[in-house]
Structure 1
Amino acid sequence: MLRTANTENGQVRGLPAADPRITSFKGIPFAAPPVGGNRWRAPQPAENWQGVRECFEFAPISVQDTPGIGDDIYCREWHVDSEIPMSEDCLYLNIWTNAKSADERKPVLVWFFGGAFQWGYTAEMEFDGERLARRDIVVVTVNYRLGAFGFLCHPQLTREQPDAPCNFGSLDQQAGLRWVRRNIANFGGDPDNITIAGQSAGGGSVMAQMACRDNEGDFQRAVVMSGVFGSPYEVNDFFLPQSPELAGKKGERLFEYLGVKTLEEARRLDADYIRSKYSELRNKGEMFFTIVQDGRFCTQDPMAAFRNGTRIRVPVMGGNTGDEFMEFINASDDDGLAEKAKEYFGGRAEEFLALSEARVRTEFGYAPVSAPELGTKEAFLGENSQNEPKNCYYYRFIPDIPGKDNAGTFHSVDLWFFFETLAKCTRPFEGRHYDLARQMCDYWANFIKTGDPNGFDINGNKLPQWKPYTDTDRSEMLFTSDGAKESVEQSRLVRFLLDKTK
């Protein structure tokens, strides 16, 4: 097995994974520590080392709120260790490979975790790359800076370092991807067959990387899980790029809150102090969470780039869970609904009101619809309208999820399935869940290898057909309690809302 490998900075040694046919390398530096004068700068080259570096454990997680404190669903699900090491020195990546030699050129997955750009880390237990590695995928998980450390924008930064004034977390991801291009062949990977993937903010990150034209050629396909949002009723600006002026005002308020006036003073502050003060400010609504149109990394809205064909056009797999991020029309009665329909849909209001789904009323409002479903499908229809469109494959994750909390298909629960890591979860999953996870991981592996999820599972059985989502064939893949099932878009409300945006 390939237990040692060369990198551009020195040699590394990994350990056998739970399956000894796989080697895991954890905590490989891909950039210099972003501390001191490197705080709020683009990632700098890592230093060389002598001898063999033992890459046996995950590096410290990015500076963020302490995980595992509280009883919310994510603390119960995977943020379970309140003593996990944390440091501003966090630019490391991890690799799982089943290669026996460095010349095997296996397809590569580069994974960006989610967490609203405030939380998350590669050491989360659901991101174990072993099951994908058993399918001949070289898996790489890349850490990046978060919150005020990763996404600060400030006028002083804009003046003093115009080549990289902001978007540091996104630049970390880009640096990790480029490190993979330069080094992954030494781990048995193919630098010309890379898929970038992410979920939630990680999915939004994939969208941002696709919109950055400087990344042309750095990857051949992409996976966006629960990371694209369509807002049929009210504007949702979470993933919309901000102007440097607006984002810079937030940076000025952070400096004021920190009690500093200059960038030099801010770079001398203790990281834990910045963390605690930023957490207070974020809880008051001042959140650093999205890319800024800096004219360098970000020159366009990633969603618009997908729709109009100006992104890096590669095949994409994307979708959502059934119960996450539902949008509603906020109206107190049917008359209020009618008024809102006129506001949103103008001359098509009566057509909207004639839909039975529009009259569905919940405690949150009328006409519930999934924002990630709409966003993903809208993006895919935009690609489908281009010349020689790239295939885009849509999925919806809707199985039963066991547990006393009756959480349903909550945001992020599909990660246990795609990575096939259910055995690490405390939920009482049964055989059907393990069967579904195996199918989902198989589809994902096929897509990473070829850009097409179709083919055979790990046992050699032909998988149910998964057709691309197009304007003329609204095919969906439903991941259900009874396994993967091909379907065609059933919701008339979704069709109406999508046709409205065309």
Structure 2
Amino acid sequence: MRTRLCLALVGAVICSFLVAPVASARTPVVSVAGGAVSGARVDGITQYLGVPFAQAARFSAPRPAAPWSGVRRATTHSPQCPQSLPGGVPPALSPFTNSENCLSVDLYVPDSAATQQLPVMVYLYGGAYVLGSNQQYDSPAEMARTGNVIIAVPNYRLGPFGFMALPELAAESGGATGTYGTQDQQFALRWVRDNIGRFGGNPDDVTLFGESAGAMSVCTQISAPGSRGLFQKAIIESGPCVRSPLVPPRREIGYQRSEKYAASMGCADPRTRLACLRSLPIDKLLDSPTTKFDSPLATWTPFIDDVVLTTTPDEALRNGAAADIPLIIGSNADEGRLFVALFDYANGRIPTAESFRSTVRTVYPDRADAVLATYPLSRYRTPADALAAVYTDSLFACAASATTAAARAGGAAVWQYRFTAAPLGRSNPLLSGAFHASEIPFLFSRLGGVPIPWTGASAALARQMKAQWTTFARTGRPNGPGLPSWTPDGRFLSIDTSGSSMRTGFDALHHCGVWGA
């Protein structure tokens, strides 16, 4: 038995010391691209962890993984892709190792895969494109076992390592730039297509799902020409395809952001800039405000390079990119509470009336007066509550509603939800209500190896959501015996421990009139 510090980043920081699961004996050997691997029995399934799916030099497209000899023990996670620590956590407390040799996939395989071709679910983690790794999502074992699906969780590059955009990078790669993390995800999907059959999975029955930046990554893969046919269904959790700071901007914006960052690293001269950046150590490249998740504004996102990404997800959805891809799209009722905790409380600040108004004017300069009129402080218990409501509605709820509208305009079938369960209660002083990422522990049975100890109504809701997500992966519809009726008809499913039912009036609940385009 061993104790580990869990940093389960699903947009949040969930830290605690608990006992991690112990693997049993090694399992049968599976041959994949690169070599042979053996996994371990954990939580009633077989895990294959840290399986290399690609290798990549800095600021370059991923390439096939280097081959290995013998049987590789796939029983531990690979290092995480380089990233700063969230929320001011001291580096000495990190249980994870940064490495550019991080392009691995973790596989969770139920016993039934031995005799069936099972549906496959590929999960893309969140973290605002600067945080996250597959070892934080250990493990979806219960979802794999009870849902009869194989689940794959790949790593992808983050921050400047994943999204550096410079003219000289475009020149050396046929125009592709600012999309290395997106290419990693795409390479992982191709690896799944080519290798998952050896684990008992069906390469033609893949559901791509993700949360926060992982959900935005789902959006970008829907819009990416090179991803067509690599997945057949998609789930977008709290990471809308439109009206988000993570929406891919044009390449010129990427150049501006990356050139400013390069200058801050002491690499300002365009003639030597790329060689300079490639020569710097990882820690130096991470020593930048742009790699910290402490603001709703973003520097590092994919960019439309006109090669890997040729259009915005909004345009792609409206033009029918998901017409043959069933979608689940949703958000949480109190998303913004996490961001108040991260951006203010974690930095020793308690929002005041003055700071609330200042934040609104800084983040929403073009509509600040309308926002302040729509969210008067007199309506809320504290300025923090008002700020949380603004973040919830602007960044997530109304953007999710607009994403649903764009997808339906392009002919997609969309099942929309609003998650309202409060895993830490409704009066918690730091994280109350259905904050950002609070649905994740209802889908994963462990996060960072730490068991999720649901009981009673929460345990029942976890079973329900796992069944809905995996039923959707199997059938393209989230309905089945014992599950609440959920229809793709313009209403939304309100999901809560007290019960789940179809509702109307989503836009009114979140003041979406003020957040229009």
Q: Shorter-chain-normalised TM-score: which range?
A: 0.7 to 0.9
What's the counterpart of residue 207 of structure 1? Answer: 219
Structure 2 residue 74 is the aligned partner of structure 1 residue 30 = no
Query: Within 2, Cα distance between the matches of 1:96 and 1:314?
Result: 24
Deviates more, 1:390-399 or 1:489-498: 489-498
Aligned residue runs from structure 1 range 196-345, under 5 A = 196-228=208-240, 236=244, 238-260=245-267, 261-277=272-288, 288-311=299-322, 313-325=324-336
1:370 partner SS: helix
Which amino acid is the alignment partner of residue 157 of structure 1? L
Taking the aligned partners of 1:256 and 1:241, their CA distance within structure 2 comes to 22
Counterparts of 1:281 and 1:483, CA distance in 2: 38
Q: Does 1:418 align with 2:430?
A: no
Report the counterpart of residue 129 of structure 1 in structure 2: 140
Q: Name 1:89's counterpart in structure 2.
A: 101
1:192 aligns to what SS in structure 2? Answer: strand
Deviation at 1:14, TM superposition (A): 0.4
TM-score (norm 2): 0.78
- Residue matched to 2:65: 46
Match of 1:107 among 103, 115, 119: 119
Decide whether aligned partners of structure 1 residues 314 and 357 sit closer, same or farther in structure 2, where only a CA change above 3 A counts: farther
Counterpart of 2:153 in structure 1 is 141
Q: Give the drift of 1:359.
A: 9.6
Is contact 1:133–1:139 with CA below 8 Å preserved after alignment?
yes
For residues 336 and 292 of structure 2, the distance between their equivalents in structure 1, rounded to whole angstroms, comes to 25
Paired residues of 1:439 and 1:484 also in contact (CA < 8 A): no
1:128 deviates by: 0.9
Which residue of 2 is the match for residue 400 of structure 1? 422
Shift of 1:435: 0.9
Counterpart residue number, 1:167: 179
| Contact 1:254–1:278 under 8 Å retained in 2 | no
CA distance in 1, matches of 2:160, 2:102: 14
> Is 1:467 aligned to residue 478 of structure 2?
no
d(CA) in 2 for partners of 1:101 and 1:451?
Answer: 20
Q: Report the residue type matching 2:262 in the other structure.
A: F
User: In the TM superposition, what whole-angstrom CA distance separates every residue of 1:135-182 from its partner, at most 9, and x where no partner exists?
Assistant: 211000010111011111112112222243221001000000110000
SS at match of 1:439: helix
Residue aligning to 2:22 = none
Residues 479 and 485 of structure 1 are in contact (CA less than 8 Å); yes or no, is this contact kept in structure 2?
Answer: yes
Which consecutive residues of structure 2, in runs of 5 or more, have no partner in the other structure? 1-25, 340-352, 355-365
Q: Which residue of 2 aligns with 1:15?
A: 40
Query: What TM-score, normalized by structure 1, do the two folds share?
Result: 0.80
Map of 2:84 onto structure 1: 65
Distance apart, 1:413 and its partner CA: 1.3
| Deviation of the 1:80 alpha carbon | 11
User: Once the two structures are superposed, what CA deviation does each residue of 1:185-243 show, in whole Å capped at 9, x if it has no partner?
Assistant: 00110000000011000000000000112211110000100001665xxxx5x123222
Cα drift, residue 318 of structure 1: 1.5
1:481 aligns with 2:497: yes
Partner residue, 2:10: none
> Could you tell me how far 1:381 is from its partner in structure 2?
2.3
CA distance in 1, matches of 2:207, 2:64: 23
Q: Secondary structure at the match of 1:468?
A: coil
Q: Deviations over 1:469-502 (max 9, x none)?
A: 43xxxx211111213233233664658739977x
How many residue pairs get matched? 457
Alpha-carbon deviation of 1:95?
Answer: 0.2
Q: Which runs of 5+ in 1 are unaligned?
A: 72-78, 333-342, 457-461
Pair 1:381-2:405 in alignment? yes
Change (3 A) 1:281 1:370: closer
Q: Which has the higher contact order (CA 8 A, sep 6+)?
A: 2
Identity of aligned residues (%): 29
